[in-house]
Amino acid sequence: MDLDPLILSRIQFAFTISFHILFPSFTVGLACWIALLEALWVGTGKGIYRSLSEFWTRIFALSFGLGVVSGIVMSYQFGTNWSRWSDTVGNVLGPLIQYEVVTAFFLEAAFLGILLFGRDRVPRGIHLMAACLVALGTLLSSFWILSANSWMHTPAGFEIKDGRYFVTDWWQVVFNPSFPYRLAHMVTAMFLTTSFVVAGISAFYLLKRRHLDHAKLGLGMALALITVLAPLQIFLGDEHGLNTLEHQPAKIAAMEGNWEGGPRAPLVLFAIPDVEAETNHLEIGIPALSSLILTHDFNGSVPGLKQFPADQRPDPRIVFWTFRLMVGIGFLMLTVAVVHLVLRFRGRLYSSGWFHRILVGCMPIGFVAILAGWFTTEIGRQPWVVYGHLRTADAVTPSLTVEAALISLVSFVVAYTIIYGAGTYYLIRLLRTGPTHVHDTRQPPEAQSPKRPLSAADPSIEAAE
């Protein structure tokens, strides 16, 4: 592969956004979970809710910090590496990003300060409100950024003059055809991701016979949410897929590994797609099942890659597998939910060590599924950056040189390796330490809130190690 500014910019974008998305994926759900725990603490005065909230707030602070610094990179990268895209779509997407900043980023940043450091400085109700506003901020952020992303998949409400996009109807821009599906699918995915982390950590404490009360509370709440969301997510994913079939059929063909298209299409379970020969090798499929899933009819006709000109096809070699990975994890999540129900009815949820070990192993699956899903949808949009209108190759900064692009890519890889390495190390130390005890009193016996969130954990870490 020849190195040119285009491919380097694409790799850099994929790299930086993949790292960035891990943090919002986790913090959106976590913010809501913390707000719920704070509400329970204010409502019941039970110390366990407060100490669990403080524990997860420390983890939230670390993750949020990493999300902020990697997010600033994103907001500048649009301009530095994709200046033709910026100039062409700025009239349309600029305001959506701007609304994300003013409705979400400021809200999160301002009230996170109060949530972290303000417990002893503001009334209890204000502290709870701060927790709720941080959660609201993370959700608003998801709303705007997913709207902007969806518009690039299913652009609507615009006209093109002199090669640039001008808005004709803002409602159609914001609520473009794929947005409701993408928003529902992604927010559910983020809640599932957080739930699996909370369940995994709680299971880890149960296995280690530590923090048993906190662990049971966390495990019970997380698994209850998983039981609701896992089946819901499979339904939402199917709906989103049908929406993609309607608006981006070439992407569906690539995801399904289907070259010919037509009726009675098999569901391909395994294949090695060959772009040169326009066929699959070693294909194993279930006859007519793809037609059934996509059209709800065995004889339904589905799209095939060969129906599209070669220069308008996404490359199936990655999306075929990332899609299967995502769907596989979806069904794994459903299995966990079902097993949990069986164990709960038999009253053995908190005593089944084998299940707890599985849950510990399942901690990262939400992150993996989210990355796999985004790889599927973004690579599946290629060769377009704005689907059907603007090619990725025409979006890159014309003045960018190979040397500059290479320098920036290497710099980001090195910096992120150091930062995320250290971050993961500190995160694991925090998780191993666990929650600290808080009395069931309305007035805490002493000021327990640290000036820095992480400093509170330090003495106990020293003791634990």
Partner 1 sequence: MQEIAEGSLLTLIWVGIVGFAVFMYVLMDGFDLGIGILYPFAPTEEDRDTMMNTVAPVWDFNETWLVLGGAGLFAAFPIAYAVVLPAMYLPLLVMLIALIFRGVAFEFRFKARAGRHWWNRSFFLGSLLATFAQGVVLGSFIQGIPVYERQFVGGMLHWLSPFALFCGAALVVGYALLGATWLIWRTIGPLQDWCFRMARRLMLVVLVGVAAVSLWTPFLLPQIAERWFSLPNLFFLSPVPIVTAVLAFALWRALDNSRDVAPFVLSMALFALSYLGLAISLWPHLIPPGVTVWEAAAPPKTQVFLLVGMAFLIPSILGYTAYSYWVFRGKVTGAFGYH
The reply on whether position 118 binds partner 1 by CB under 8 A is: yes
Is 117 one of the binding residues for partner 1 (CB under 8 A)?
Answer: yes
Element (H, E) at 154: none
Residue 3 as a binder of partner 1 (CB under 8 A): the answer is no
**Contacting partner 1 (CB under 8 A), which of 277, 310, 447, 463?**
447
Nearer CB in complex with partner 1: 343/404:
404
The interface with partner 1 within residues 14-73 (CB under 8 A) comprises 61-62, 64-66, 68-73
* Cβ-based nearer residue to partner 1, 70 or 233: 70
Query: What 3-state DSSP class applies to 384?
Result: strand
Residues 119 to 148 in contact with partner 1, rule: CB under 8 A: 121-122
Beta partners for 158? 167
Is 403 a binding residue for partner 1 by CB under 8 A? The answer is yes
415 binds partner 1 (CB under 8 A): yes
What's the CA gap between 189 and 72, in Å, rounded? 23
Q: How far is CA 445 from the centre of its chain?
A: 39
Q: How do the residues of the chain divide into helix, strand and coil, expressed in percent and rounded to 5?
A: 70, 5, 20
> Each residue of 89-122: b (16+ CB within 10 Å) or e?
beebbebbbebbeebbbebbeebbebbbbbbeee
Name beta bridge partners: 284.
270
Residues 6+ apart with CB under 8 A from 44: none
Residues 366-385 that bind partner 1 (CB under 8 A): none
Q: Which of 460, 404, 400 is nearest to 432 (CA)?
A: 460
Shortest approach of partner 1 to residue 436 CB, angstroms? 14
- List the structure tokens of 205: 């404490």
| Site membership for partner 1, residue 431 (CB under 8 A) | no
CB-wise, 14 or 293, nearer to partner 1? Answer: 14
For 210, phi and psi rounded to 5 degrees? -125, 155
Binder among 422, 424, 437, 460 for partner 1 (CB under 8 A): 422
Binding of partner 1 at residue 287 (CB under 8 A)?
no
Cβ distance to partner 1 smaller for residue 231 or 423: 423
Task: For partner 1, give the closer residue by CB, 57 or 352.
Answer: 57
Per CB under 8 A, does 235 bind partner 1?
A: no
Work out whether 440 is an interface residue with partner 1 (CB under 8 A).
no
Listed ranges 114-122, 177-185, 242-250, 257-265: which one lies at the site for partner 1 (CB under 8 A): 114-122
In the complex, least distance from residue 95 CB atom to partner 1, rounded to whole angstroms = 5
Member of 102, 160, 228, 342 binding partner 1 (CB under 8 A): 102
Give the interface segment with partner 1, choosing from 32-40, 42-50, 284-292, 409-417 (CB under 8 A): 409-417
142 touches 116 (CB < 8 A)? no
Q: With CB under 8 A, what is the number of residues at the site for partner 1? A: 80
Q: From the CB of 36, what's the least distance to partner 1, in Å?
A: 22
CA distance 198 to 364: 11
Residue number with CB closer to partner 1 (92 or 265): 92
Identity of the residue, 220 or 450, whose beta carbon is nearer to partner 1 in the bound complex: 450
Tokens of 324: 């299967």
In whole angstroms, what is the distance from residue 273 CA to residue 429 CA? 43
Count of other CB atoms within 10 angstroms of residue 175:
16
The CA distance from 31 to 142, in Å, is 13
**CB 403 → partner 1: shortest distance, Å?**
7
